[in-house]
Structure 1
C-alpha cells in the first residue's frame, strides 16, 4: 500500500477521532490468545490502532511490541500505552524468530489480496517455533472499499484457510461471527488462529 493511498490517508487524518471511538475491548479473544502463551511471553502487535489491546496485554504482564503503519495513529496509541509505538508497515516486517505470539486484530484486512501470502510468510518468520498467530478479517468474496474509502480484502473462510495451509501454518482455527464496524454497518467477521510449526531437531 502506498503511503498516500486512501486507506493510509484515512488513518493519518482521522487518528484522534478513530482512537477515541467507543470500542469494546475484544477481551474474550485476547484472554484466549494470552492463555495459550507462556507467562510474560513476547508479543508483536500488527496495527495497534488506538492501543487498547496492547495496553490490556501489557497489564497482564506480557512483553508487547506495538506497531502501526500510521505515524499519527502511533502517536495516539503512545498516549494510552505510555511506551513507544514502532511505525512500520506489514511489508517492512523483517524480524526473525523473535516473538511467542503475533496479534493482528482488524489490521491485515487492509492488505491487498495478492500481497497476503508474502505477509503471512513474514509473520511466520517473525515467530519462534510453535509461536501463535491471531488475526481477524471482514469476511466476503470480492475485495472492495467501504464508505470511508478504506480498502478491504474481504476474504472467505475457504480462501483464508487455503492461504494459511500454503504458507505452512499448523493448527489452523477459523470461525465467523456477526458484528459491526467503524462505519456502523453490519459486518461478518472472520477470525483465525494458527501456529508456526516446530521444526524437528537434526
Structure 2
C-alpha cells in the first residue's frame, strides 16, 4: 500500500530551465525557457509511483509549474497535487535583504497527509528548512547530460516505502549511507 508521500521540487531538481541555450538539444521550450529534463526522470517517476504517492511542489509561478508538469508527466503516473509559488511562504533573509520561498509541510498535513509519512525532495535547503526530518536534499541539476542523481535517489528511497516514521531516519548524508539497511 502506497502510504508515503514524496513531494518533489521541479527547477534544478527534476529539470533545468534557462533562457540561455545549452550545448545539447533542449527537451522542450516553455515560454522563453529552454528546458532540459534531468536524466532518468521518466524512469524515476514511474518507479516511485509504484511505491509512493507523488506530488509536485515548486516555488515557481503556478501556471509555469503546470505547463512543465504537463510535459514531463508519464501517462501512468498521477500526482496527489501540483503546487506552485502560491502555496509557499515568502521569507526575507535579514543579512542580505533577499527573499526566498519556503515550503511548509503543515500545508500538506492540512490536505490529510501524515508528516511521519511525507518526504520532500529539493535541491535548495532553504526551501524546505522547516521540514528538517522530512527533507532530502539532492544535488542541483543544471543540464548535465551525464547526471545520475535520480538513479541514486530511486535506490535510496526504496528503504522508505514501509517505514512508519520517515522523520526518524537521518537523511543528511544519504548518498553515503548503506542502501541495504
Per chain length, whose mean CA-contact separation is higher, i.e. which structure has more relative contact order (CA < 8 Å, sep 6+)? 2
**TM norm structure 1:** 0.37
Pick the structure with more strand per residue.
1
**TM norm structure 2:** 0.40
